[in-house]
Amino acid sequence: MSFKLITLIVIVLGILAIAQLVRVYELSSKLRNRREEDITNRDNRLNGNLMIGFMLFLYIGFIWLMCTYGWTGRGVSASAHGEETDWLLNLNFIIIIAVFFVTNTLLFYYTFKYVRKPGVKAYYFTHDNKLELIWTVIPAIVLAVIIILGLKTWNDVTGESGKEAIKIELFSKQFDWTARYSGQDNTLGLSDYKLTTQENELGIITTETLDSAIRLMEIGKLDGTVLGIQLLEEKLNNPKNIFIPEDRVKMEDDLDRKTRLLRLLVQMQFRHNKKLNAQAYDDIIQKDTLHLCVDKEYEMSFRAKDVIHSAYFPHFRAQMNTVPGLVTRLKMIPTITTAEMRKKMNNPKFNYILMCNKICGGAHYKMKMIVVVDTPKQYKAWMKSKMTFKDVFLAKPAATPATPVEGGAMPADTVKLAIK
Amino acid sequence: MGALAHEAHGHHGAHDHHEHHDEGFVSKYIFSMDHKMIGKQYLLTAVFMGVVAMLLSILFRIQLAWPGESSDFLSMFLGETWAPGGVLKENMYLGLVTIHGTIMVFFLLTGGLSGTFSNILIPLQIGARDMASGFLNMISYWLFFLSSTIMLVSLFIETGPAMAGWTIYPPLSALPQAIEGSGLGMTLWLTSMSIFIASSLLGSLNYIVTILNLRTVGMKMTRLPLTVWAFFVTAILGVLSFPVLLSAALLLLMDRSAGTSFYLSDIIVGGEMLENHGGSPLLYQHLFWFLGHPEVYIVLLPALGLSSEIIATNSRKPIFGYRAMIGSILAIGFLSFIVWGHHMFITGMNPFIGSVFVFTTLLIAIPSAVKVFNYLTTLWRGSLILTPAMLFAIGLVSTFITGGVTGIILADSALDIAVHDTYFVVAHFHIVMGMSAVFGMFAGVYHWFPKMFGKMLNTRLGYAHFWVTLVGSYGVFFPMHFVGLAGAPRRYYDYSVYGEFDTNSYEMIMDLNVIVTVFAIIAAIGQGFFLFNLFYSIFRGPKSVQNPWRSTTLEWTTPVEHMHGNWPGAIPEVHRWPYDYSKPGHDEDFVSQIVPLKDGEEEGH
């Protein structure tokens, strides 16, 4: 309250103060018979000098920022293509900073120098084809160099990865990342979003995951946390249940949707080639940290579950959006291990990071994954400690009953509703 | 045809003049069909919207500089709902960013800049009694007003305004389950923008028709002031690109409410498996940026046009390379349609298409460079009169250089990977749009205020406003580049997350964020000089003379008091180009366009 009052008072006083100053100024103008559009030589010169002053402020500020912060924010590039990017970036920076200084200096200097002087008339100069040709052609040549070098790097960066490249998938959802390594065979198992369940968050396609997804869709979970078609029908058909019309419509829509999705799932099961199971069985799913092996090429593919995210590795100069319904990719060779980078950054707690760099919801800023670049030895040891998808998925007790529940049994939340 | 319409208009104008005294308050100030009044309505609406958007930016800048700290300022404006205990909510942060961007780009810089000055200057500078259709012009303004109102209303609803960023990429903008602002807030956003687009189209069509058909005798296209050329190309860009945004918005509306799958595919959100399959979020991005990039030039070209006129007038020199300036406006306009993909280098678009866009985008640097060099040569050996308008125009050139050169980094796809969606991008487009275009608008207001209101603005306040704004806004956007080079992503609510993996970067980002916010607050307070000056001078400013800046163009041959039809007698004829300043062989240092050529005198360009 007091804050609002003070703000209000300050604003009112400020306006009054300016108004008073303006009145004094107006009176003095009137006395001197000076009109508003007549800019005095004194004002002109003052502003011309201020332009030079401002130029110095701008340049000193720029140089100070460069000296203090420069590139240090991200350190040297930790990936092979990143070195090329950085080289090109530095070259471009030299060009544009030169242009920045030269043109800005001319601008501020001319403003200072050619300020109106009594008796000096402006020079009538309408055009000069030669001059204009020069400053069309020179930028064109410089830009041609920039374009050619840029496209060369771009082709290298986005080109195909080698056959040996290790395949990794990064799966994004609000608000975390999950990595999937392709395992021994270096082939990622197929995936489809319709197979997504609590046990199979990435929707990997195998005979078993198809079965369990279909069962979940048909029945649901007995504790009532997931309503399948059967549970929904029971709930809707039970005369003891009374629903608000909107809820009923919602549940009926849900039922229709699940029926259609089920049909697609059954078709998928029908077409499924069991030989492909092996590709998925040896995949390794990894949350919280992404481990990479130094000097190995990686072929990363990206998927998104809900909205667009962006996989941004600032230290590796790599970035790619993840798009629902589309698989995107990038390739990368990490060249500096985390331990080495800590030394270079002079920060024992430093870690590489994978951040989300496309607005994806309220906790967008928290969506990240620590990246660790290991030596080959560490990497192997770490990999050994991981369980494959098959081990994890098949070891879990089946989440839904193998046989359909009998007609009489009511799921938990239906019972609650019935009691009400 | 042109001449006929011209005649008819002439009579109409004279007729109006007789009825002048019967005009009621409503038809004069509210539902006015007079282009000068409509221009002023645009200006005042846009100034209001600009102040709101600036305030929004201060609110989220406070959060960025002092994350998690309680602020009385925040709780004063956002209350307990959106800033419990004076700490901004995550979702509202995104809401503020979204609405700030939307208002600034569309309502201030498209509606405000182009709407104000196209309306006021086109008929006056080409020698027409009014716009081709005064009625459509009025409708255009009121649609603009309506869409502004809806956009402001969306700030006050329970689920908050649109929160998907000003580019509203689906699926985030299509799914209320993904973020609360994508519910009613997004519906209002889409409604408001659809109306805005209708307004913009009506306006643009009117500008084009007026410029092509209603020029006075002797006003050849090559005798048009560069302002009119800029408005002309801007209007064409608007007509060709805004409908694409409308279709993008309509498809999005259908995805949201009719169950279609234009942009949606294979999505699970909020635990619900959606059936949508086969749509592509990239389609939206292509459609959006097909408008979005020309939009940058819709914003910038009018500012460049205004500053060309102001720099020539106040250098007392012809604009250097008049035809080259027209050529570069046309080249920029054309190229702006084939560069949209540079916003999408890392969206998963085919890299080969990306390289084509690298090429076309970097080409734009050539006409832009030509413009800068022409400005510099115009200043060279001039006799500069540093009015506040002139200072802002020079500031525009400086920021156009500074913001332009970083564009070269961003247009180069290989480099864009490293800085895409970081604060480097934010710094770049704010220097170009937030400084250059806004400086152009300020320059225009200071220069044509006497024409608009018949009064003079206070020069000293203008100086104070300019210097605070120049230092303040450079202070905001220059350090921002370094935040971006450190890799800081944009649209992050809190950079404290850096503390978990890179404490050095964390300290650097936090330090710079404080510097940026302090300058932002200074710059925002500095706008008080302008607002005070504007409203004080409208009512109490000293009366203006007919041609205060001793300028050559036609608008300064009209009487100070506004009247329907602009000129009391016949419309003046034009005999020369608009830049005869300090021409040898004349006594005065300017020769109005209506003065016939002397015997043996050659036309300027």
Contact list, B76 vs chain A (CB under 8 Å): 3-4, 7
Angle B506-A87-A379 (CA atoms, 0-180°, nearest 5)? 60
Nearest-angstrom CA–CA distance, B385 and B459: 12
Closest-CA distance, A326 to chain B, in angstroms, reads: 8
Does position A308 have pLDDT exceeding 60, yes or no? yes
The DSSP H or E segment spanning A289 is strand A289-293
For residue A34, the chain B residue with the least C-alpha distance is B542
Nearest-angstrom CA–CA distance, B365 and B369: 6
Phi-psi region of A203 (alpha: psi -120 to 50; beta: other; left: phi over 0): left
What pLDDT does A4 receive?
77
What pLDDT does A1 receive?
57
Residue by residue, DSSP assigns B365-418 as HHHHHHHHHHHHHHHTT--B---HHHHHHHHHHHHHHHHHHHHHHHHSHHHHHH
Cβ-proximal residues to B129 (8 Å cutoff; 6+ apart), any chain: B9, B10, B12, B13, B123, B214, B564, B565, B566, B567, B571
Please count the other Cβ atoms lying within 10 Å of the Cβ belonging to residue A9. Answer: 10
- Are the beta carbons of B322 and A350 separated by less than 8 Å? no
Contact list, B380 vs chain A (CB under 8 Å): 110, 114, 123, 125
What pLDDT does A407 receive?
40
- Most B-contacting residue of A205, A308, A326 (CB-CB within 10 A), to test interface: A308
- Are the beta carbons of B379 and A356 separated by less than 8 Å? no
Q: Tokens 């979003």 identify what position?
A: A193
Task: Name the residue type at position A124.
Answer: Y
pLDDT digits (tens, 9 = 90+) for A16-64: 888 888 888 888 888 877 888 888 899 999 999 999 999 999 999 999 9
- Are the beta carbons of A62 and B459 separated by less than 8 Å? no
The pTM assigned to this predicted structure is 0.92
pLDDT digits (tens, 9 = 90+) for B405-416: 999 999 999 999
What pLDDT does A396 receive?
61
For residue A410 the two structure tokens come to 């009511």
Closest-CA distance, B138 to chain A, in angstroms, reads: 32
A7-11, A174-178, B258-262, B509-513: least confidently modelled range: A7-11
For residue A23 the two structure tokens come to 């009145």
Helix, strand and coil content of chain A, in percent to the nearest 5, comes to 50, 15, 30
Residues A171-189: what's their mean pLDDT? 93
Q: Tokens 């052609």 identify what position?
A: A137
Closest-CA distance, B5 to chain A, in angstroms, reads: 34
Closest partner residue to A100 (CB to CB) among B89, B405, B584 is: B405
Nearest-angstrom CA–CA distance, A86 and A317: 8
Contact list, B351 vs chain A (CB under 8 Å): 154-155, 158
What pLDDT does A60 receive?
96
pLDDT digits (tens, 9 = 90+) for A349-382: 999 999 999 999 999 999 999 999 999 999 999 9
Contact list, A364 vs chain B (CB under 8 Å): 94, 491-493
Question: What is the separation of C-alpha A243 from the centre of its chain, rounded to a whole number of angstroms?
Answer: 42
Nearest-angstrom CA–CA distance, B538 and B535: 5
What pLDDT does A3 receive?
75
- Are the beta carbons of B545 and A35 separated by less than 8 Å? yes
Closest partner residue to B536 (CB to CB) among A19, A89, A147 is: A19
- Are the beta carbons of B508 and A122 separated by less than 8 Å? no
What pLDDT does B22 receive?
60
Nearest-angstrom CA–CA distance, B362 and B10: 47
What pLDDT does A15 receive?
84
Nearest-angstrom CA–CA distance, B594 and B557: 9
Question: What is the separation of C-alpha A69 from the centre of its chain, rounded to a whole number of angstroms?
Answer: 23
- Cβ atoms of A170 and A300 within 8 Å: the answer is yes
What pLDDT does A417 receive?
39
- Are the beta carbons of A308 and B172 separated by less than 8 Å? yes
Parallel, antiparallel or unpaired: strands A166-173 and A176-181? antiparallel
Q: What is the CA radius of gyration of chain B?
A: 24
What pLDDT does A72 receive?
59
Contact list, B470 vs chain A (CB under 8 Å): 54
What pLDDT does A71 receive?
65
Please count the other Cβ atoms lying within 10 Å of the Cβ belonging to residue A8. Answer: 10
**3-state class (DSSP) for residue A176:** strand
Residues A237-255: what's their mean pLDDT? 89
Please count the other Cβ atoms lying within 10 Å of the Cβ belonging to residue B222. Answer: 12
Q: What average pLDDT values come out for chain B (605 residues) when binned by 10 residues? A: 42 45 74 92 96 96 92 89 92 95 95 93 95 94 96 94 94 93 94 96 96 94 95 96 95 93 93 91 95 93 96 95 95 94 92 93 94 95 95 96 94 93 95 95 96 93 96 95 92 92 90 95 94 93 93 94 90 93 90 90 77
Closest Cα partner for B378 from B309, B329, B445, B429?
Answer: B309
Closest-CA distance, B366 to chain A, in angstroms, reads: 6
Nearest-angstrom CA–CA distance, B108 and B433: 11
What is the number of CB-based contacts under 8 A between chain A and chain B?
Answer: 404
What pLDDT does B459 receive?
93
